[in-house]
Amino acid sequence: MALSRKKWNNILIFATASMIAILTLLDDRTAELPSDAAPLFDDKAPLAQLQLDELWLSKGSQWQCHEDVLNCKTWATAWSEIQLSPVADQQGLMEQESLDAPINVTILVANNSQGQAWLWYPAHGLLVSPAKNWYQIPPSLREALTPITKISAAPLNDTTSN
């Protein structure tokens, strides 16, 4: 039994409405911060400097970043206002082989002359403190933590010369 054009249209409308409802529900659920999320920095100890490999940001009278970072203000705001939740099963995370290679993050807090070396697993939204405590970054805050950088063009090698 073949479906008429009207029935196919109704099926497509129902499927589209269902997908929109599911995506809206997921967006509402992931936009909320977990109840146990706490800010990493506060007014007494704000973020002063941060370094991700060769990229950096620093707070003077205003935020300054490495020359290749295009979204300096957004990137600085994301890190200075980051909130974390402690991870309950830290032993299980350390034994997980599916974790990507971490990025070294050096954090300098105002009124402290020594930086702290953290590890960041961007794909999983995990931060590891210098004391080896694991923290989860809420999904709604993860995207802005990665800087948008300029693409540098590599010089072309001339392989057609005689």
pTM recorded for the entire structure: 0.70
Examine residue 132 and state whether it is found in any structural domain, yes or no.
yes
Residues 87 and 106 in one domain: yes
Return the structure tokens found at 117.
């070396």
- Rounded to 5°, the CA angle 59-62-65 comes to 60
Return the structure tokens found at 80.
């200075």
What 8-state DSSP symbol labels residue 145? Answer: G
Residues 55 and 11 in one domain: no
Number of domains in the chain: 2
User: How far apart are alpha carbons 69 and 21 in whole angstroms?
Assistant: 36
Residues 72 and 7 in one domain: no
3-state secondary structure at position 32: coil
46, 59 Cβ separation under 8 angstroms: yes
Residue among 34, 27, 41 nearest 137 (CA): 34
Question: Residue 126 belongs to what domain range?
Answer: 38-145
Mean pLDDT by 10 residues, the chain (162 residues): 88 95 80 73 89 90 91 92 84 66 90 87 90 88 88 62 51
